Amino acid sequence: MLSYDLMQPTLDFDPFEATIHTVREAICSRKVTCRQITEAFLARIVAINPIINAVICLNPKVLEEADAIDDALADGHNPGALVGVPVLLKDNFNTINMKTTGGCRALKDLQASDDAKVVKLLKNAGAVILGKANMHEMALEGLSVSSLGGQTLNPYDLTRTPGGSSGGSGAAVAASLCVFATGTDTVNSLRSPASANRY
């Protein structure tokens, strides 16, 4: 599920540690293409994710979606506030082209019939959905370990917790596997990863 036959592209713009604004500006100014940015993040995920286990699956249509954004820009269409910005979704956000499992092996084949409202808004703003981030199974605790995705590790110290339940999202952002990621919070599911996954 995490295999793309890609080499890390050489770009005039460094997308890692970049902000939403600088990525959007680089794409809109045609310094780089959306596809180049997307390929750079996919290659980084393929290289780094086996160490920290933050990403549970990749969007099988992500390169097609990046190409569509480049085509729209070339045709002069309004790019949207998040055009070309790579994002990972916590695996409890419904998507029509990826399973939504909550990290639970028993739900590994669960396919939503529609995108969640947040996902629709992200897509309408031009964001590129790279894939899904691991999470603590069913968001029930704060360690980010799941029966489907295994244990997510803190990218700054593999012996420390990444927090949870949005620990996959927090670890992915900290490791520059995406520009930003979504999370959900019942008790401490956002604040814990934000605090834990820092240098």
State pTM to two decimals.
0.93
- pLDDT tens-digit map of 41-75: 999 999 999 999 999 999 999 999 999 999 999 99
Total count of domains within the chain: 1
Burial class (CB in 10 A: 0-12, 13-18, 19+), 11: middle
The predicted structure's pLDDT at residue 102: 97
Give SS3 for 64.
helix
CB 25 within 8 A of CB 73: no
The predicted structure's pLDDT at residue 69: 96
> Which residue carries 């992200």 as its tokens?
122
Phi, psi of 178 (to 5 degrees): -165, 170
Residue numbers of the domain that contains 173: 20-196
- pLDDT tens-digit map of 70-107: 999 999 998 899 999 999 999 999 999 999 999 999 99
Catalytic (active site) residue 113: no
> Which residue carries 């990749």 as its tokens?
58
The predicted structure's pLDDT at residue 7: 60
Query: CA–CA separation, 174 vs 54, rounded Å?
Result: 10
Query: CA–CA separation, 177 vs 10, rounded Å?
Result: 17
- pLDDT tens-digit map of 127-183: 999 999 999 999 999 999 999 999 999 999 999 999 999 999 999 999 999 999 999
CB 97 within 8 A of CB 61: yes
Indicate if the pLDDT at residue 35 is higher than 60: yes
Residue 4: pLDDT band with limits 50, 70, 90: low
Residue 121 inside a domain? The answer is yes
CB 75 within 8 A of CB 67: no
Residue 86 inside a domain? The answer is yes
Q: Which two tokens stand for residue 140?
A: 């029930």
Q: What is the DSSP string of 65-104?
A: HHHHHHHHHHTT----TTTT-EEEEETTS--SSS---TT-
Residue 8 inside a domain? The answer is no
Residue 7 inside a domain? The answer is no
Where do runs of H (alpha helix) occur along the chain? 20-28, 34-52, 62-74, 117-124, 167-174, 191-196
Which residue among the candidates 165, 169, 176, 192 is catalytic per the annotation? Answer: 165
Q: What is the CATH number of the domain that holds 169?
A: 3.90.1300.10
Indicate if the pLDDT at residue 8 is higher than 80: no
| 123 CB-side CA count, 13 A | 19
Residue 94 inside a domain? The answer is yes
Residue 5 inside a domain? The answer is no
Catalytic (active site) residue 192: no
Q: What is the DSSP string of 149-173?
A: TEE---TT-TTS---SSSHHHHHHH
Identify which of 130, 127, 128, 177 has the alpha carbon closest to the alpha carbon of residue 152.
Answer: 177
Residue 182 inside a domain? The answer is yes
Residue 11 inside a domain? The answer is no
Identify which of 28, 29, 59 has the alpha carbon closest to the alpha carbon of residue 41.
Answer: 59
Which residue among the candidates 166, 176, 189, 192 is catalytic per the annotation? Answer: 189
